[in-house]
């Protein structure tokens, strides 16, 4: 028996190189062969419900992707940005998997400290809240620290 592990990944940073290294990677357990089949979907696709357990098994935020997530969710109060986070959380609640590296791991958890800078407040707004860990974030953009 063959089972494809369907992966969502975003069109950000070095994602393409990271995820395509997984393409067609397979392993066997008993009589079942598992194979990674990555594909790219857009934020628009997420908003229209394509990110579901029926379509994908795993959501990946590889290295260099959290900045784009932060821009989509933390720097703007547009309703679509809140909906994007909600759709990702629904995918996890349905039993979908999540892998986050670097900033992708940070956005999965929560922030321990009370945000004091613009960047910290933006990161706090972009948290997915799907992980039980928290982190201390002390960050600022030098020119914007006064905000």
Q: What is the DSSP string of 55-107?
A: T-SEEEE-TT-HHHHHHHHTS---HHHHHHHHHHHHHHHTT-EEEE-THHHHH
Predicted pLDDT at 95: 92
Q: Whole-prediction pTM value?
A: 0.74
In the Cβ-directed half-sphere of 43, how many Cα atoms lie within 13 Å?
14
Predicted pLDDT at 25: 85
Going from N- to C-terminal start, the domains of the chain cover: 2-144
Of 147, 87, 104, the residue nearest 122 (C-alpha): 147
Name the stretches of the chain with pLDDT < 50.
Answer: none
Predicted pLDDT at 94: 92
Report the C-alpha gap between 51 and 130 in whole angstroms: 16
Report the C-alpha gap between 120 and 43 in whole angstroms: 23
What confidence tens digit (pLDDT) does each residue in 81-122 have? 778 888 889 999 999 988 887 777 878 888 888 888 777 787
Predicted pLDDT at 93: 93
Beta carbons within 10 angstroms of residue 9's beta carbon: 23
């Amino acid at each position: 028996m063959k089972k494809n592990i369907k992966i969502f990944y975003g069109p950000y940073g070095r994602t393409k190189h990271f995820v395509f290294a997984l393409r067609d990677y397979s392993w066997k357990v008993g009589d079942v062969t598992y194979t990674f089949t990555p594909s790219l979907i857009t934020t628009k696709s997420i908003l229209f419900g394509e990110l579901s357990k029926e379509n994908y098994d795993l959501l990946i935020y590889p290295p260099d992707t959290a900045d784009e997530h932060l821009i989509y969710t933390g720097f703007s109060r547009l309703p679509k940005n809140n909906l994007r986070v909600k759709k990702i959380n629904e995918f996890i609640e349905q039993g979908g998997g999540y892998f986050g590296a670097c900033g992708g791991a940070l956005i999965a958890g929560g922030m321990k400290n009370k945000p004091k800078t613009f960047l910290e407040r933006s990161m706090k707004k972009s948290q997915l809240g799907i992980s039980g860990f928290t982190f201390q974030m002390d960050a600022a953009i030098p020119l914007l620290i006064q905000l």
